[in-house]
Amino acid sequence: MSTSPSPCRRQLLRLAIAAAGSTGCLSHAHAAEPVPQPWPKQSATPALRLPRLDGNAWRLDEAVGKVVLLNFWATWCAPCREELPSLELLAHRHAEDGLAVMAINFRQGAGAVTRFVEAEGLSLPVLLDADGSAAKAWGARVLPTTVVIDRSGRAAFSVIGEIDWAGTQARGWLAPLLAAPPVPQSVPPSAPQSPPTPAAARPAPA
């Protein structure tokens, strides 16, 4: 039997000896019970613009009005792989409620991610964080990490570690956000109209 550490454990070892700011995989042995951590009120919600697998860009600010789950994951992270089916089920159940689940892959090539997605039959939209800058901006130092965004586009809370997103507990966390009314769409101001020309100033007919 091979004694070589798993990819996830190797990432944990790297995390232990690397400089602060690195990202690793949270193994079951090191995982506490995941709980939602409120997003700090003094912290702004980062902007997010990433390419999809098909190359088209996706922007968070275009999803205002929806509840958005940003799930940071990687194919080498076993808890991430185990969590994806529940995220997919959650997305299907609440699509009509205005929920969007975006799977943000951490620092892997499009080819490797595409092969994984096709092999697993994954239907979630996948975004590519090729250089890890999005994970850094959103504080995702451990995988999986999920950040939940409310309908106004503001980060509400984050969850570190694998959970059953289709389960009662997680759905209870999301219920208040999904129950919130849609954000009214801003109406652009109409162009100012010129006042009517006084009769005395109108040119006389020829």
What pLDDT does residue 7 have? Answer: 54
What pLDDT does residue 23 have? Answer: 76
What is the maximum span of the chain, computed from C-alpha positions, in angstroms? 104
CA distance 100 to 91: 6
CA distance 108 to 130: 6
Q: Mean pLDDT for each consecutive 10-residue tract of the chain (206 residues)?
A: 47 40 64 88 96 96 97 97 97 97 98 97 97 97 97 97 96 97 63 53 56
What pLDDT does residue 183 have? Answer: 79
What pLDDT does residue 159 have? Answer: 97
The predicted model scores a pTM of 0.79
List of domains in the chain: 33-180 (3.40.30.10)
What pLDDT does residue 195 have? Answer: 56
What pLDDT does residue 178 have? Answer: 97
Q: What is the DSSP track for the chain?
A: ---PPPHHHHHHHHHHHSPTT--EE--GGGPPPP--EEPPTTSPPPP-EEEBTTS-EEEGGGGTTSEEEEEEE-TT-HHHHHHHHHHHHHHHHTGGGTEEEEEEEES--HHHHHHHHHHHT--S-EEEETTSHHHHHTT--EESEEEEE-TTS-EEEEEES---TTSHHHHHHHHHHHHSPPPPPPPPPPPPPPPPPPGGGSPPP-
Within a 10 A sphere around the Cβ of 76, how many other Cβ atoms?
18
